[in-house]
């Protein structure tokens, strides 16, 4: 059992940090112990990533103290932090795709003498570290050819070769499959058993009970409290995060008429990852597409939206065939899409929150080409309030927003367009609990406006919570359609998604 006082390896005392227009952290204090996983939670924009960047020397605090092994230290830059044993794995991985695994492990810290880099040493040390992690890729592979999970292992290896004492992971599972997540948890627990302290940021309460020894909560830049095992109560954590209890988490209402055949997909295929696929979605309906990561859901969505090239099949909106070759076509025909990876398709980091929200609405609020500035401003303000986007001003650029708030911006844009059909691909990924609940309500409102809502999600509780009908995909095709509330359960969906023992009660659509 950890000794109550001596096991503290790192303490943060009264740390503050401001950015123009935002006080990201106000006098936060926190204690981290060796051999423990310390989970840090809080709503989007609460200051979690900022606090971690202060510990890892990315930013300097405005005030306060960092105490490492009983001594006050200054983390002037990331290399200094690394030398002191603190490594940060960011929300966005820090990997150079065109360098080898070994070069990435030693990035910015290459061993050598007389200006020559000691490649043999780098390869040997990297291989040793990766072997400890049970990784199976060669150290001379180009990092860009590896999966996200493998690239993450390179970053963990970095902390091992530098004899790290504290490993910070900022939402490490956001882009991982369930399997990769399990594997990461094994890794974290084994690092913990070797005495490493792990600070772990997550929005997923389900992960807390698996790996957390302690949970600390930040809210609006302030420290709210720490809970220790065995007192890790989810309801209490949520209350600490949002400052109230969240009842009726999935509550949403769908009213208005159903409009049959709003969106119809017939035999759509890319000849590779999506088998010829057909389904219909009605206006006013919330249709979930579930399945394991890699089952073809995102690929199907991209085909519908014209983001990838189809080799066969047709798309109809309100019974009329739509000639969709590009995302621009899809938008003109009335299809909206919120992609799973907000950076690659959609969000413009250098543009303001206002521009990001109103960019596709511009057309509809301009009269004879003159933009109605006031109407646009109102749209932006309403969206910011409604989704509780934490942004200093509508003119603040998207790049300076926290991860979850960037996601909300993107969602806000589509909410304004009122398309005929909208495809939401993992819309609550990286979004805090309060905002999740808010997004479910909004989805209900969008459906009530007669929009066909196609909702892709790996989080089964949320599929069960809000879907009226569920299509399950496996290996690039739809393997089941669940229409009855009594069939829409996590167990049934999982059974079809994995292909083990489909339950008898559910109707399997054979397409
Ligand atoms: N470089 C920056 N410039 C300006 N403002 C910033 C910068 N980095 C963070 N902020 C602001 O500081 C606040 C805290 O952001 P931070 O990224 O720490 O939140 P977070 O808790 O990690 O949120 P999320 O869960 O969404 O990732 C936010 O209001 C954010 O907009
Ligand atoms: Mg963050």
Predicted confidence (pLDDT) per residue in 269-321, tens digit:
999 999 999 999 999 999 999 998 789 999 999 999 999 999 999 999 999 99
Local structure of residue 276 (DSSP, 8 states) = S
- 118 C-alpha to ligand 2 centroid (Å): 36
Q: Is 42 in the pocket of ligand 1 (CB under 6 A)?
A: yes
Does the beta carbon of 44 sit less than 6 angstroms from any atom of ligand 1?
Answer: yes
**Counting ligands in written order, which one lies closest to the CA of residue 390?**
1
Mutate to test the pocket of ligand 1, among 24, 169, 429 (most ligand atoms within 8 A of CB): 24
Instruction: Provide the mean pLDDT of the chain.
Output: 87
Structure tokens at 114: 């007389």
Residue 1 predicted with pLDDT over 60: no
Question: Which ligand ends up closest to the CA of 404?
Answer: 1
Ligand nearest to the CA of 406: 1
Ligand found nearest the CA of 48: 1
> Which residue has its alpha carbon closest to ligand 1 atom 18?
47
Tell me if 352 CB under 6 Å of ligand 1. Answer: no
Q: In which element (H, E) is residue 137 found?
A: none
pLDDT at residue 113, as a whole number: 64
**The model's pTM:** 0.76
* CB of 390 sitting under 6 A from ligand 1: yes
Q: How confident is the model at residue 232 (pLDDT cuts 50, 70, 90)?
A: very high
* Closest-CA residue to 511 (of 273, 214, 278): 278
Strands (E), 129-276: 166-170, 197-201, 214-219, 222-228, 259-269
Question: How many Å lie between the centroid of ligand 2 and the Cα of residue 316?
Answer: 39
Report the C-alpha gap between 87 and 79 in whole angstroms.
9
Q: What angle do CA 140, 145, 150 make, to 5 degrees?
A: 80
Would you call 418 exposed, middle or buried from its count of C-beta atoms within 10 A (0-12, 13-18, 19+)? middle
Cβ distance 261 to 424 under 8 Å? no
Mean pLDDT of 477-483: 96
> Please, which pLDDT band fits residue 148 given cuts at 50, 70 and 90?
confident
> In the chain, what percentage of residues exceed pLDDT 70?
90
On the question of pLDDT at 488 being above 90, the answer is yes
Binding site membership of 26 for ligand 1 (Cβ less than 6 Å): no
From 15, 16, 19, 44, the mutation candidate for ligand 1 (largest count of ligand atoms within 8 A of CB) is 19
Alpha carbon separation from 159 to 109, 130, 167, 175, 362 (Å, rounded): 12, 11, 7, 21, 47
Q: Which ligand is nearest to the CA of 90?
A: 2
- Convert the pLDDT of each residue in 104-145 to its tens digit: 999 877 776 666 778 889 999 999 999 988 888 999 999 999
The answer, yes or no, to whether residue 509 has pLDDT greater than 70, is: no
pLDDT of residue 503: 53
Q: Which two tokens stand for residue 432?
A: 């805090």
| Distance from residue 150's CA to the centre of ligand 1 (Å) | 27
Q: Is 46 a pocket residue for ligand 1 (Cβ < 6 Å)?
A: yes
Domains of the chain, first to last: 8-242 (3.40.50.300), 255-334+419-511 (3.40.50.300), 350-418 (no CATH)
Q: What are the Cα distances from residue 450, in Å, to 220, 281, 284, 361?
A: 36, 11, 5, 18
Of residues 108 and 187, more confidence is placed in 187
Q: Is the CB of 33 under 6 A from ligand 1?
A: no
396 lines ligand 1 (CB under 6 A): no
The answer to whether 218 and 47 are in contact (CB under 8 A) is: yes
Counting Cα atoms < 13 Å in the Cβ hemisphere of 174 gives: 25
Q: Give the mutation target among 47, 218, 405 for probing the ligand 1 site: most ligand atoms within 8 A of CB.
A: 47
Sheet holding 286-291, edge to edge: 335-338, 421-425, 452-456, 286-291, 469-474, 477-482
pLDDT of residue 94: 87
Q: How far is the CA of 252 from the centre of ligand 1 (A)?
A: 29
Alpha-carbon separation of residue 290 from 185, 283, 410, 434 (angstroms): 24, 19, 22, 23
CB 24 within 8 A of CB 221: yes
Q: Check pLDDT > 80 for residue 246.
A: no
The predicted structure's pLDDT at residue 107: 85
Q: Does residue 90's CB lie within 6 angstroms of at least one atom of ligand 1?
A: no
Name which of 73-87, 164-178, 327-341, 352-366 the model is least confident about. Answer: 352-366
Report whether 480 contacts 508 (CB < 8 A): yes
Q: How far apart are CA 342 and CA 356, in angstroms?
A: 12
From the centroid of its chain, how far is CA 362? 28
Average pLDDT over residues 443-461: 91
243-to-28, 43, 388, 439 alpha-carbon distances in Å: 17, 10, 14, 18
> What percent of the chain stands above pLDDT 90?
55
Whether ligand 1 lies within 6 angstroms of the CB of 49 is answered as yes
CA of 132 to the centre of ligand 2 (A): 28
Question: Given this model, what pLDDT does residue 406 score?
Answer: 84
What's the pLDDT tens digit per position in 389-448?
A: 888 888 898 888 887 788 788 878 877 777 899 999 988 887 888 888 888 988 898 899
Give me the pLDDT at residue 501, please.
Answer: 60
Q: Is 406 close to ligand 1, i.e. is its CB under 6 Å away?
A: no
Alpha helices in 60-136 (DSSP H): 78-83, 101-105, 119-132
pLDDT value of residue 360: 64
């Amino acid at each position: 059992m950890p000794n109550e006082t001596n096991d503290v390896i790192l303490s943060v005392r009264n740390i503050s940090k401001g950015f123009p227009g935002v006080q990201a952290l106000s006098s936060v204090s926190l204690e981290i112990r060796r051999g423990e996983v310390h989970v840090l939670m809080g709503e989007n924009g609460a200051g979690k990533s900022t606090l971690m960047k202060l510990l890892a020397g990315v930013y300097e605090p405005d005030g306060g103290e960092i105490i490492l092994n009983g001594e006050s230290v200054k983390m002037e830059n990331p290399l200094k932090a690394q030398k002191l044993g603190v490594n940060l794995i960011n929300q966005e991985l820090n990997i150079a795709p065109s360098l080898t695994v070994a070069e990435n492990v030693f990035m910015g810290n290459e061993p050598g003498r007389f200006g020559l880099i000691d490649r043999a040493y780098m390869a040997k040390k990297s291989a040793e570290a990766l072997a400890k992690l049970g990784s199976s890729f060669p150290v001379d592979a180009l990092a860009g050819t590896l999966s996200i999970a493998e690239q993450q292992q390179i970053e963990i290896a970095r902390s091992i070769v530098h004899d790290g004492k504290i490993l910070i992971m900022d939402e490490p599972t956001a882009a991982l499959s369930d399997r990769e997540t399990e594997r990461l948890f094994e890794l974290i627990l084994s690092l913990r058993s070797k005495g490493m302290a792990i600070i772990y940021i997550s929005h997923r309460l389900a992960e807390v009970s698996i790996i957390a020894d302690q949970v600390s909560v930040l809210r609006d830049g302030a420290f709210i409290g720490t809970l220790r095992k065995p007192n890790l109560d989810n309801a209490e954590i949520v209350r600490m995060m949002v400052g109230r209890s969240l009842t009726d988490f999935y509550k949403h209402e769908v009213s208005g008429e159903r409009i049959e055949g709003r969106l119809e997909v017939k035999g759509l295929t890319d000849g590779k990852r999506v088998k010829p696929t057909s389904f219909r979605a009605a206006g006013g309906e919330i249709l979930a597409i579930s399945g394991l990561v890699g089952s073809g859901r995102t690929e199907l969505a991209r085909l519908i939206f014209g983001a990838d090239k189809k080799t066969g099949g047709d798309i109809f909106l309100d019974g009329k065939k739509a000639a969709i070759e590009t995302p621009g076509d899809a938008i003109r025909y009335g299809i909206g899409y919120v992609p799973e990876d907000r950076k690659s398709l959609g969000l413009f980091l250098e543009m303001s929150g206002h521009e990001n929200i109103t960019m596709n609405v511009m057309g509809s609020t301009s009269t004879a080409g003159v933009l109605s500035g006031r109407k646009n401003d109102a749209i932006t303000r309403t969206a910011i309030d409604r989704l509780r986007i934490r942004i200093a001003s509508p003119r603040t650029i998207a790049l300076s927003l926290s991860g979850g708030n960037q996601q909300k911006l993107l969602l806000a844009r589509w909410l304004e367009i009122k398309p005929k059909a909208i495809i939401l691909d993992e819309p609550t990924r990286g979004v805090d609990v309060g905002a999740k609940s808010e997004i479910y309500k909004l989805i209900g409102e969008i459906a009530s406006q007669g929009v066909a809502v196609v909702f892709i999600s790996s989080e089964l509780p949320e599929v069960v919570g809000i879907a009226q009908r569920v299509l399950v995909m496996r290996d690039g095709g739809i393997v089941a359609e669940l229409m009855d509330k009594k069939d829409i359960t996590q167990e049934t969906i999982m059974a079809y998604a994995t292909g083990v023992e489909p339950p008898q009660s559910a109707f399997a659509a054979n397409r």
